[in-house]
Structure 1
Amino acid sequence: MTDDELKKLESETQEKDEFVFMREEIKSRPINRKKLMRNTMVAAISAVVFGLVACVTFALLAPFVIDRISGNEKEEEVKVEPVVISFPEETVEEEMTPEDMILTSTDPAPEIPEGTQLDEEEIKALISDVKFSLDDYQSMYKTLSDVAVNAQRFIVRVTPVKDNTDIFNNAYVRESELSGVITESNETELFITTKYSMVKGSNDILVTFCNGVSARATIAAYDTTTDLCVIGVLEDDINEVTRETIRMAPLGSSTSYSIVGMPIIAVGSPLGVYRSVNYGIITSNSNKLNLTDSVYKQLYTNIYGSSSATGVLINLKGEVLGIIDTTHSVSDTRNLICAYGITELKKPLERMMNGLDTVYMGITGDDVPAAMVSTGAPEGVFVLSVEMDSPAMRAGIQSGDIIVGTPITRINKFSDYLILLRGFNQGDTETIRVFRSSQGVYKQIDLEVSFSEVKK
């Protein structure tokens, strides 16, 4: 290349360099952190709101969509109202007196046709041919056992659970065991009668039915006078199989003197052990237990049991005649099973199962003896004792007074007093009319009594 060509090339290059007088340099935009944070927060809040709206929409529409897909319309829930529990009234049976047993008819006795009379030797021969074998003995007890086994359907095991601490302040759980009797149902709860002092203060109460299925129970109501309570198990907590297995206890009658000498079976825990059984007879039902605002017949038996026995006495028909109670046993028959007569318990049990308040006046009384009436005393309720700080004591009722009712209602015996008392409610104030003896003369006194709830 010649010198002229080189000079020309340098000249062109110089011209190009002079022409590019400005270069463009692209820089990245700086990050706006505040704006980025704001946009992030807006996105997060929007996501949360969207999620909440979606959840609410799903919760509201899901039941409808499911019902539409399955083709089933939503059934309205039917609330079951508890029914009022009432035991049938007992019919008073006329008892045969010794005078009725004497033949008073003047008609001649029917003659026995000839050829049918048996002499003494023939009768002895016939009796001697009858032999009671071990099989007969076993068959008899098998029949009794069948009655006892069938009764287990209305007997339950009650297990109260209580939290306790020992002397070193260490916590432990204590479980005891007793029997209860299935008494009634109001279609929402199944009611079981049992001993109050043994379930009182429990953290939990477990009921085990005859088929081994368990359910939780709560105390529905209690009576401190008899130390009995009613515990309830929700019907919804009882499965269908158990419902078909168990049954309500049929309640008999304990008033008739004819039950004395009757064979009975003690079921539940007569020996202090669940499902123990014992056989015997009722030896007496004439003793009365005069308790606060109540009176009960006490059934005595020849059955030996535990001092902590619980359960019921049943007849050979399987009917409950009494609820076992050992707290009122006399000292010389401490281990003989006694029971409250079921007849007098029916009304208190009805009130407890129906959720009615038990009105408290606070007297122990009995019918005025006929001997006192013959000397001029009025018929009514003779006050044996008055409880401390009771409505009766605050009103001024004293031991020895005779309660004859109110200015409107007249009572002649203690059973009338119980009916009168059930007509009042807690908090009511009523004028109670009494007669008080002063120097052999009975004077009428009207006292204002304010009824309260039973002392716990």
Structure 2
Amino acid sequence: MPYDEKPKQGPDTGPQEEKEEKFSFIQETIKPKPVTRRKILTQLARIVIYGLIFGAFACLGFFALKPWVQNRFQNIPKTVTIQEDEDEGTVQTAPPDTAEAVSPVLNADSYKEIMRSMYDIAKDAGKCVVTVQPADKEKSFSSEGSGTENSVAGLVAADNGKELLILCDNSVCADAENWTVTFSDGSQYGATLKKQDKNSGFAALSVQRINLTTSTWNSVLVATLGNSSVTTEGDVVIALGNMFGYAKGTGFGIVSSNIYEESKADGQYNVLTTDIPAENGGTGILFNLKGEVIGMISPGIWENTEANTTKALAISDLKSTIELLVNGESVPYVGIYGTTINDTMAEKENMPVGIYVIEVNPDSPAMAAGIQSGDILQEVSEAKVSSTLSYEKAVMSSKVGGTIKMKGKRRGANGYVDIDFNVTIGSLE
């Protein structure tokens, strides 16, 4: 066979296939070291040490930042909102008991139990009653025993998160710049004036919450302002304050009348008279048997009378004023004493319906605007006024310093003519 000839491939022989070479590598498995009890304990100890270190730094940081946080957030007082009275028609009454009523047997022990129950109510209510006096006036020797020299009873009316707001008679504000408030536990704290209103005769003082101790906090209660509009003759009431010539007095009695009023500029306040004896010039707080405040006992009520019984301005008529004072806002003032001319009176006297101006205070916004006695006001800030209540609401909703328009009627030679005034709202502080 020639050397250059390729051998013939037979039918049973195929092309040469390349054989893949397979290599076997040694695969090594790394086994973890066994976990021993000692390692577990060591790891746990390390975690505990780290936790203690972190906790220590967290505590140090907390105490270091606490004064800053308190100072930062307590400088932002919350706005106080005085809850309005509920509608008398929504008050739920218990269904009448059809069972035969059994009269209890009353004796001396029953009387003791009744008086003890009332005293317990008075004791709880007393937590919101304080004594206020100027800090820069010393007590006289004769008044050290009574504790009433230059002092008035006050009410813890609100808490805005930064301050406790004390409502009191503004007679204590004359010639004073700082005050001392004595709480029910006998502790004393400095107070500053938040705002006063010489027209209504009330002022709001503030005591810094951060200054109060824990024991004082436990003895303080923010008052609940009740609905004096549902108070009727014969209701049992509790008087707390210095109405009797000494501080921290307690008296029990009944409402003898609720039909009379005390006139102030731009409004009238219902007066709750009681059969509880009182000294002239005494101040205090009147409570119902729920422990709710229903009146502020004021020395200015019916100053010319000699009846030495406890009298209070109804709290429902004071709520809008209180809300402004405790929020540090000025109370609007126009300076008008008026009475309502309703439809019946208007027809009888041939007069327009509205507010008849009886008197205008000297140097008041009303006098500056030209309002005179005898004018009849019918519209305030585009709102119709047909009663002293609606007039008072219109004035109280105005902003001090702002100008409002009042419209009405004035009698002329040929009958009543239209009049209008631009009144700049003022305040008496």
| TM-score bracket, shorter-length normalisation | 0.7 to 0.9
Q: Does 1:391 align with 2:365?
A: yes
Q: Give 1:79's match in structure 2, choosing from 70, 73, 78.
A: 73
After superposition, residues 345-360 of structure 1 pair within 5 angstroms as: 345-360=318-333
**Separation (CA, whole Å) in 2 of partners of 1:69 and 1:149:** 43
Moved more, 399-408 or 320-329: 399-408
Q: Does 1:145 align with 2:119?
A: yes
After superposition, residues 50-449 of structure 1 pair within 5 angstroms as: 72=61, 75=65, 77=69, 78-80=72-74, 81-94=76-89, 132-163=106-137, 176-256=150-230, 258-329=231-302, 331=304, 333-375=306-348, 376-406=350-380, 408-438=382-412, 441-449=415-423
Question: Do the aligned partners of 2:133 and 2:172 also contact (CA within 8 Å) in 1?
Answer: no
**Separation (CA, whole Å) in 2 of partners of 1:90 and 1:329:** 26
Unpaired runs of 5+ residues, structure 1, are 1-66, 97-111, 118-122, 167-173
- TM-score, normalisation: structure 2: 0.75
**Separation (CA, whole Å) in 1 of partners of 2:297 and 2:394:** 28
Q: Does 1:450 align with 2:424?
A: yes
1:373-394 Cα shifts (integer Å, max 9, x gaps): 2245333222111011211112
Q: How many residues align?
A: 353
CA RMSD of aligned residues (A): 2.9
Query: How far is the alpha carbon of 1:440 from its aligned partner?
Result: 7.5
Question: Do the aligned partners of 1:155 and 1:181 also contact (CA within 8 Å) in 2?
Answer: yes
Secondary structure, counterpart of 2:408 in structure 1: strand
Query: How far is the alpha carbon of 1:215 from its aligned partner?
Result: 0.6
Secondary structure, counterpart of 1:219 in structure 2: strand
Query: How far is the alpha carbon of 1:451 from its aligned partner?
Result: 2.4
Question: Do the aligned partners of 1:162 and 1:175 also contact (CA within 8 Å) in 2?
Answer: no
**Greater share of helix residues, 1 or 2?**
1
Residues 409, 176 of structure 1: alpha-carbon distance in 2 compared, 3 angstrom cutoff: closer
Moved more, 412-421 or 189-198: 412-421
**Separation (CA, whole Å) in 2 of partners of 1:132 and 1:439:** 71
**Separation (CA, whole Å) in 2 of partners of 1:322 and 1:217:** 23
**Separation (CA, whole Å) in 2 of partners of 1:158 and 1:72:** 40
Letter in 1 for 2:323: E
Letter in 2 for 1:326: P
Question: Do the aligned partners of 1:161 and 1:176 also contact (CA within 8 Å) in 2?
Answer: no
Query: How far is the alpha carbon of 1:333 from its aligned partner?
Result: 4.5
Residues 438, 280 of structure 1: alpha-carbon distance in 2 compared, 3 angstrom cutoff: same
Residues 438, 143 of structure 1: alpha-carbon distance in 2 compared, 3 angstrom cutoff: same
Query: How far is the alpha carbon of 1:146 from its aligned partner?
Result: 1.0
Question: Do the aligned partners of 2:197 and 2:427 also contact (CA within 8 Å) in 1?
Answer: no
| Runs of 4+ in structure 1 over 4 Å off | 67-71, 330-333
Query: How far is the alpha carbon of 1:399 from its aligned partner?
Result: 1.2
Question: Do the aligned partners of 2:177 and 2:193 also contact (CA within 8 Å) in 1?
Answer: no
Counterpart position of 2:23: none
Question: Do the aligned partners of 2:341 and 2:356 also contact (CA within 8 Å) in 1?
Answer: yes
Report the identity percentage. 27
Residues 330, 390 of structure 1: alpha-carbon distance in 2 compared, 3 angstrom cutoff: closer
Residues 276, 68 of structure 1: alpha-carbon distance in 2 compared, 3 angstrom cutoff: closer
